[in-house]
């Protein structure tokens, strides 16, 4: 029999019989690999294991614990779920069923409203399908043939009509057929562990003018152990949900009468924001940034010049007419910073210019994607723009990275996933600038010692960028810092500086945000700490709890001293038992409780209780000494100075 020779990722060659598949290759390498194999990458394309190989193909086997492998498992499980729903509910119309981070979903148009109790019934049918070990069979058919296959599926017909090619991919397993690019597992029997999680409504194509479908969310893993761990993490994530904790801790609310996606900050939330904002401003001022402020609205013509009106229109709110001129609420802060730059002639001696603004912007997000503080319509970016000469890019990027790591570490984030997004197919600017900017981003990352992945072609049209995702206490990643190099806006607004040669030169503009937005970052903080913030961030740091009315005067004096020192403290003089007061303070996750009774009044002490439990009586000075260590740096000097002044006379 004739042979073919395929190449493994390490350059080794393996001979196989002509007609061999990727699955055959896995078996030729070893039985353990054959058992773990779920898909293959052939010449950089992810494919089914049933794909026939040709001589010279470069092939790697994708296993079940590989990230791509887990995605294939979940994609196949989504098809099994759709098959189960079609078996159980007549006349169902299928939407789409993609994989998402940590799971999958499928949208259905059903006559019956599915309840959470129905998920167990669907799961049972899915297990039957898995036990049937149905083969996932890929077929390539013409668009006309596909229309006949899906003649009773209007949503699939709509998708088929939008396909540019004359042929489409479909997958069959048993009686079920779906429109799909694949790849899939060899058979349904390879699915080992799955769970249906929740139900939600979802407009078809995300358009509220289209039908509302029923979306079933689920997840799948290579093993029951991993699935169990994931379910436990989901339960913990539910306990930490910032929407639930935001309400319980009285931090923020969203009122539909006021407007969807527009958070209202309660007193505790406003204090939390102030702490973060003050810290952010101080850190920037120390590093040579200057603070500026720009209006919330601007004329439409400004956004035409910037290009947002043409390229970002669908995410902008509609214009409002003011004295015959159209204005819009700003979706970005950058044009305002540019106008400040253009307010007078700039010299190369001024560069780099670093301007920072906590600027509130407004973007139209469809109601279906709004999610507490994590996806809103009005939010405050921790924005900054750096105007620099081309040869200053690397140093400025390095400075931003240092600032990022310093700030995020203070908030308790030290694990990141970093991506360098490079030049896309369509771009503006000179190739020389792109090469220099990409090289500067790369060198800065390497000098900073940050491991990173290349995200090829995913830069924005105006320049390459760095994206940083932080990992929280549950290991979840959140988009946070972004650093973008921009050649487009300086050209559009004809920015210039006078160089040493007395000629005009075009500056490079760096857009960067460290936290991303205050709203999203606070939502992440709430979930990261489950609402039990570090002392320096906590909206309330100390609550003083007198046991009886006769202790109120001393408690009020302690509270007054604490507040005079800058601590966020209050005294609870309610006519409740001290145990009830302690319980309420625990529910509010206040770091310190100072309990005042006869002994404390007599000895001029406070009985300290923190999140770990009772600590017993200490002098007021001793407590202040501990508190000042846990306060943010800007407050330490005030505590030191006050403590030295004899605050034990509270």
Active site residue 334: yes
Q: How many CA atoms lie within 13 A of 226 on its CB side?
A: 13
Q: To which H or E segment does residue 17 belong?
A: strand 13-17
Catalytic position from the list 64, 178, 382, 383:
383
Please tell me which residue in 385, 520, 581, 628 is annotated as part of the active site: 385
Annotated catalytic residue: which of 184, 195, 511, 528? 511
Structure-block tokens of residue 281: 């401003």
Catalytic residue among 330, 337, 377, 465: 465
Residue from 363, 528, 581, 628 carrying the catalytic annotation: 363
Q: What's 261's DSSP letter?
A: T
Q: Sign (positive/negative) of CA torsion 313, 314, 320, 324?
A: positive
Between CA 363 and CA 377 the distance in angstroms is: 5
Q: Is 323 helix (H, G, I), strand (E, B) or coil?
A: coil
**Beta strand pairing call for 59-63 and 93-94:** unpaired
363 in catalytic set: yes
- Which of 83, 214, 381, 423 is catalytic? The answer is 381
Helix (H, G, I), strand (E, B) or coil at 561: helix
Cis before 183 (ω within 30):
yes
Whether the link from the prior residue into 352 is cis, omega within 30° of 0, is yes
Q: Is 385 a catalytic residue?
A: yes
Sign of CA dihedral 40, 42, 48, 52: negative
465 assigned to active site: yes
Q: Give the neighbor-by-neighbor strand order of the sheet with 569-571.
A: 569-571, 542-546, 592-596, 605-610, 613-619
CB 280 within 8 A of CB 291: no
Q: Would you give the DSSP letter of residue 611?
A: T
Tell me whether residue 128 is one of the annotated catalytic residues.
Answer: no
Pick the catalytic residue from 334, 337, 472, 484. 334
Give the number of other CB atoms < 10 A from CB of residue 241. Answer: 15
3-state class (DSSP) for residue 646? coil
In the beta sheet, which residues pair with residue 365? none
Active site residues: 334, 363, 381, 383, 385, 465, 511
């Amino acid at each position: 029999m004739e042979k073919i020779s395929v190449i493994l990722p390490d350059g080794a060659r393996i001979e196989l019989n002509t007609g061999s598949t990727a699955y055959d290759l896995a078996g030729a390498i070893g039985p353990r690999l054959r058992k773990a194999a779920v898909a293959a990458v052939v010449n950089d394309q992810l494919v089914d294991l049933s794909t026939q190989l040709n001589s010279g193909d470069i092939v790697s086997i994708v296993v079940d614990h590989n990230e791509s492998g887990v995605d294939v498992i979940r994609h196949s499980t989504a098809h099994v779920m759709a098959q189960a729903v079609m078996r159980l509910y007549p006349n169902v119309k299928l939407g789409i069923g993609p994989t998402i981070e940590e799971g999958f979903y499928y949208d259905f148009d059903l006559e019956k409203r599915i309840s959470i109790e129905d998920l167990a019934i669907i799961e049972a049918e899915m297990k039957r399908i898995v036990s049937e070990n149905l083969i996932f069979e890929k077929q390539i058919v013409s668009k006309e043939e596909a229309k006949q296959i899906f003649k009773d599926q209007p949503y699939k017909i709509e998708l088929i009509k939008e396909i540019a090619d004359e042929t489409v991919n479909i997958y069959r397993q048993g009686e079920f057929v779906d429109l799909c690019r694949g790849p899939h597992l060899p058979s349904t029997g390879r699915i080992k562990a799955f769970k249906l999680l929740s139900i939600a409504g979802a407009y078809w194509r995300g358009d509220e003018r289209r039908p509302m479908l029923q979306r079933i969310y689920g997840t799948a893993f290579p093993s029951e152990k991993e699935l169990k761990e994931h379910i436990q993490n989901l339960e913990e994530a539910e306990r930490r949900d910032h929407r639930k904790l935001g309400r319980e801790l009285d931090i923020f609310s969203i009122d539909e009468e006021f407007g969807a996606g527009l958070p209202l900050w309660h007193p505790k939330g406003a204090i939390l924001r102030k702490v973060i904002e003050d810290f952010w401003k101080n850190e920037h001022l120390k590093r040579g940034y200057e603070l500026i402020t720009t209006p919330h609205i601007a004329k439409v013509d400004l956004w035409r010049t910037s290009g947002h009106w043409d390229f970002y229109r669908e995410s902008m709110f509609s214009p409002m007419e003011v004295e015959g001129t159209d204005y819009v609420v700003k979706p970005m802060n950058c044009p305002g910073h540019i106008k400040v730059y253009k307010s007078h002639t700039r010299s190369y001696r001024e560069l780099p210019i670093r301007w920072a603004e906590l600027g509130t912007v407004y973007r139209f997000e469809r109601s279906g994607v709004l999610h507490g503080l994590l996806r809103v319509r009005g939010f405050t970016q921790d924005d900054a723009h750096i105007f620099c000469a081309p040869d200053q890019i690397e140093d400025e990027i390095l400075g931003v990275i240092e600032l990022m790591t310093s700030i995020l570490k203070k908030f308790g984030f030290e694990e990141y996933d970093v991506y360098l997004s490079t030049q896309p197919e369509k771009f503006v600017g000179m190739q020389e600038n792109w090469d220099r900017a990409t090289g500067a981003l790369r060198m800065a990352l390497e000098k900073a010692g940050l491991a990173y992945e290349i995200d090829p072609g995913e830069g924005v049209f105006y320049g390459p960028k760095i994206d940083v995702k932080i990992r929280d206490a549950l290991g979840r990643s959140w988009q946070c810092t972004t650093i973008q190099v921009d050649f487009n806006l300086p050209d559009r607004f004809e920015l210039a500086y006078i160089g040493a040669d007395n000629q005009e030169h075009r500056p490079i503009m760096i857009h960067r945000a460290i936290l991303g937005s205050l709203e999203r970052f606070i939502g992440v903080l709430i979930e990261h700490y489950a609402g039990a913030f570090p002392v320096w961030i906590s909206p309330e740091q100390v609550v003083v709890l007198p046991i009886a009315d006769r202790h109120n005067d001393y408690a009020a004096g302690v509270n007054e001293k604490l507040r005079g020192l800058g601590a966020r403290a209050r005294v609870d003089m309610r006519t409740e038992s001290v145990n009830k007061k302690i319980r309420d303070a625990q529910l509010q996750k206040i770091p310190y409780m100072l309990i005042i009774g006869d002994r404390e009044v007599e000895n001029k002490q406070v009985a300290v209780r923190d999140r770990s439990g009772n600590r017993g009586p200490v002098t007021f000075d001793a407590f202040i000494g501990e508190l000042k260590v846990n306060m943010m740096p800007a407050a330490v000097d005030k505590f030191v100075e006050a403590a030295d002044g004899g605050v034990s006379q509270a």
